[in-house]
Each structure stands twice: as C-alpha cells, then as structure tokens.
C-alpha cells in the first residue's frame, strides 16, 4: 500500500515468493512457491492469481500488477506493481491480494523486492506480509478489536524499512500499528531478499 505519491509514477518488483507454514497446528509442513514464470508477460489478476495461490480469498490488484520478463531478474520473471502519480492509499496505487493460510503456529514468508531506480519513497508504504484473524484493521484509521494480528515490513522516508505490527494485546485506541527502526534501507534499482518468520505464542 502506498500512502502518498505526489510526483510521478513508480513501480515495485517482486520475485520468487515462498510461503510456508509448519508446527504442531499444521497437518504437515506446507509451502507455496511462486516465481511468476508459469505465465506469459501480462496483467496478473483473476485466474492467474488463483492458479498460483490456491487459497486466494480476495483480489485487490486492480489491474496494477503485471508479470514482466527480464533477464536481470534472479528468477527470470517478476511481478511489477504500479503506483500512479498522485495516488494515495490502496484504492489508487499499488495493490494487494489475500491468501488463506492453513492453521499453524509458525509461518515463513520470503521474497525478493526491487524498487525502480529513482523511486519516490514519499511518506511510505507497505510490503507483502502475514496476517491472521480479523485483519480488517490493518489499514489503520479503524478501531482495533484485538482479534488477530498482521506482520509486515513498511518503507518510510528515504527507503528505511521498519517492521509494522498489529497484535493481540495492543491498546484498542491505537489508530496505527507499532513500528521501530532496524537500520536497513531499500536501495532503488537493487534486489533485496526479504525473509519473515512469525511464531505464534
């Protein structure tokens, strides 16, 4: 999700996504691996999403996600997400889709991401992440009911990356999730490997 993009159209590339669950509440270690090489270069929505993500619940890509073939990509093809100039929020820029996860007490999410050269980080936005329970509050400005959690990375000014969390026990009056600096920044034009592990307590 993009919060503010006043100046120009920007894009983010995502490649080589691995989603895995394991632990005592999982029937077995389960994993979904997607590298976007199973489809020709085209808009990534509808049936293509369902083929890659069997647990697809909702598609909010709004025709802004496109499969791109590029021999400089580590996996051959990647998913490009567009943020039109002047876009504010997920209805206007970027996109998202929701995949149902099997019950588990531990989840892993790993993917590569690249911000286009000259990317305008503006006021920030969110990268793919994990969620459970009632995640309707994950966009902020909504009352938090404590039923569930979300765990994502967010970029802020100058490409600094921060964990961004909503969690059980968080104060109900909080309008936004918690985040803190971790000393890592995205560099436009360079691929980064993001790996996330969430262990439930």
pLDDT digits 0-9 by tens, 17-48 = 776 655 554 445 678 888 888 899 999 988 89
Q: Quote the CA–CA distance of 15 and 36 in Å, as a whole number.
A: 7
% of the chain residues with pLDDT over 70 = 82
How high is the pLDDT of residue 66? 93
How high is the pLDDT of residue 15? 72
Which helix or strand (DSSP H or E) is residue 153 part of? strand 148-155
- Give the three-class secondary structure for 166: strand
Q: Which runs of consecutive H residues, i.e. helices, occur in the chain?
A: 47-52
Q: What separation, in Å, do the N-terminal and C-terminal C-alpha atoms of the chain show?
A: 28
Q: How confident is the model at residue 186 (pLDDT cuts 50, 70, 90)?
A: very high
> Left (φ > 0), alpha (ψ -120 to 50) or beta: where does 25 sit?
alpha
| Phi, psi torsion values for 40, nearest 5 degrees | -70, 165
Triad 48, 51, 55: Cα angle to 5°:
115
């Amino acid at each position: 999700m993009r919060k503010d993009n006043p100046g120009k159209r920007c894009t983010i590339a995502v490649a080589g996504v691995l989603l895995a669950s394991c632990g005592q509440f999982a029937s077995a270690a389960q994993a979904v691996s997607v590298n976007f090489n199973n489809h020709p270069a085209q808009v990534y929505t509808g049936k293509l999403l369902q083929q890659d993500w069997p647990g697809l619940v909702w598609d909010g890509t709004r025709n802004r996600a496109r499969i791109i073939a590029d021999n400089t990509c580590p996996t051959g093809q990647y998913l490009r997400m567009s943020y039109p100039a002047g876009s504010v929020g997920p209805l206007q820029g970027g996109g998202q889709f929701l995949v149902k996860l099997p019950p588990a007490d531990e989840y892993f999410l790993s993917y590569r991401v690249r911000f286009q050269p000259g990317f305008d980080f503006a006021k920030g936005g969110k990268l793919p992440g994990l969620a459970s329970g009632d995640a309707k509050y994950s966009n902020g400005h909504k009352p938090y009911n404590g039923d569930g959690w979300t765990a994502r990375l967010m970029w802020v000014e100058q490409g600094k990356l921060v964990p961004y969390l909503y969690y059980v026990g968080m104060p109900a009056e909080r309008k936004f999730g918690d985040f803190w600096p971790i000393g890592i920044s995205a560099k436009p034009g360079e691929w980064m490997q993001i790996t996330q592990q969430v262990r439930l307590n």
